[in-house]
Structure 1
């Protein structure tokens, strides 16, 4: 189940508002400020993106062109945002493959409702978020924020370790880049000499009994990031 939304809008306040609001509703949010940065993020995270939100008016292009570019590459749902009151814009957007259209200014609650409706129609939205992630004998309970090892013993996790492990088990087999992992666990990007994420990965490997020299669960993808290599079973009940 992917719940990752890519938003492009040249208004920083809108980007910040939507990121904060959607993350509070258990979505992961990627941001772009123009067409070029949007396409870079889209290509980088295409496999995990579940929905795109496109502003029509951007500094370097139009949302219509981005919608066409997305449609040539993917069937991921698209919602378009516009400050224009022209009905023609709405029709053009829908004809180009957009799934929905919302005028500015808008209520974030309405946008959230439309996102959920699109996910339900596309079969991506669950009635309740998954609670238990089982892998290699371990069970992660995201409601209790607890990890139980193969011997049935609780394995303590710090807040950052929990966020990191949760992100990994939600995207098994996908390469997660260092900047995204740092954003989720620390709320910021890493500096060129910052090794804190590597230390955290090493600590988490120890918790999971994963050999640091030849890890089988959390594998390093040189020059990119990390990938969770285990099969993950997802359940809503214990």
Structure 2
């Protein structure tokens, strides 16, 4: 998994059979797994700060998974991968709006889940390889790479790990068009699949957090991708 990648997973899933299956598979792939069968236990375990990423089922017996996600986002910046019902677009959209980093439909392929987690953790932990450096300025944005933080006119933005990565790619190519396929590969670590709106949802969230209602900063270039235009 790499010298700079942590591998502690908190798995919040009420289906005992599926949770056991995923936990065993993840453990066999080098992950340390903590398990919770409901949302309240999952929140309690997350507060212990003994995990690096959360795998969260939306359908839980006590607290809806989206509410668990809201509470996680109020308490922590831990990256979260949602387990969603296949074809349930509404849950995925709301999940991204609340602050999910990625999703995988159920029934999920354990190998795909491992690949998603590895890609996400590599991005999140990349700052461990970055020496402390001077903050970089792009228009009215300040990028503190060693802290994985972006400030808008001096005010920190509350970005998820994946939103941060998407924005970094766009800023690195400010003024130029970044093709959707490239942005997906560079920022999320996987290829863009047909009917996958993950990237679109992250762009939508970034626009909202940047106050970019008119799409001035992040321009959609129809048929190609996105371009970040530096604010003046």
TM-score normalised according to structure 1 size: 0.50
In 1, distance between residues paired with 2:102 and 2:93?
10
Give 1:95's match in structure 2, choosing from 94, 97, 106: 97
Equivalence for 1:65: 67
Q: Could you tell me how far 1:114 is from its partner in structure 2?
A: 0.3
Q: Which structure 1 segments of 5+ residues have no match?
A: 127-238
1:12 equivalent to 2:12? Answer: no
Equivalent residue, structure 1, for 2:27: 23
Shift of 1:119: 0.8
For structure 2, the residue ranges without an aligned partner over 5 or more in a row are 129-232
Q: Structure 2 vs 1, CA of residues 125 and 7 (structure 1 numbering), >3 Å: closer, same or farther?
A: farther
> CA shift at 1:49, angstroms?
1.0
Q: 1:81 matched to which residue of 2?
A: 83
Superimposed CA distance per residue, residues 71-103 of structure 1 (whole angstroms, 9 cap, x where no aligned partner): 111111000002252211111101111000111
Task: Work out whether residues 35 and 61 of structure 1, in 8 Å CA contact, stay in contact via their aligned partners in 2.
Answer: yes
What is the aligned partner in structure 1 of residue 46 from structure 2? Answer: 42
Calculate the aligned-residue CA RMSD, in Å.
2.0
- 1:131-189 CA deviation, whole Å, 9 max, x = no partner? xxxxxxxxxxxxxxxxxxxxxxxxxxxxxxxxxxxxxxxxxxxxxxxxxxxxxxxxxxx
TM-score normalised by L of structure 2: 0.51
Q: Deviation of residue 42 (structure 1)?
A: 1.4
Task: Using the TM superposition, give the Cα deviation of residue 125 of structure 1 relative to its aligned residue in structure 2, in angstroms.
Answer: 10
Quickly say closer, same or farther: Cα 1:22–1:124, change in 2 above 3 A: farther
Cα distance in 1 between the residues matched to 2:126 and 2:105: 25
What secondary structure sits across from 1:5 in the alignment?
Answer: strand
Structure with the larger helix share:
2
Cα gap change, 1:124/1:76 in structure 2, threshold over 3 Å: closer, same or farther? farther
How far off is 1:123 after superposition? 2.1
- Give the match's secondary structure for 1:29: strand
Instruction: For 2:33 and 2:101, locate their aligned partners in 1 and report how far apart those are by CA, in whole Å.
Output: 19
Distance 1:9 1:124 in 2: 28
Tell me if the contact between 2:80 and 2:102 (Cα under 8 Å) persists in the aligned partners.
yes
Are the aligned partners of 1:116 and 1:125 in contact in 2 as well (CA < 8 Å)? no
Q: Number of aligned residue pairs: give it.
A: 125
Judge conservation of contact 1:119–1:125 (CA < 8 Å) in 2: no
Corresponding residue for 2:165? none
Partner of 2:58: 56
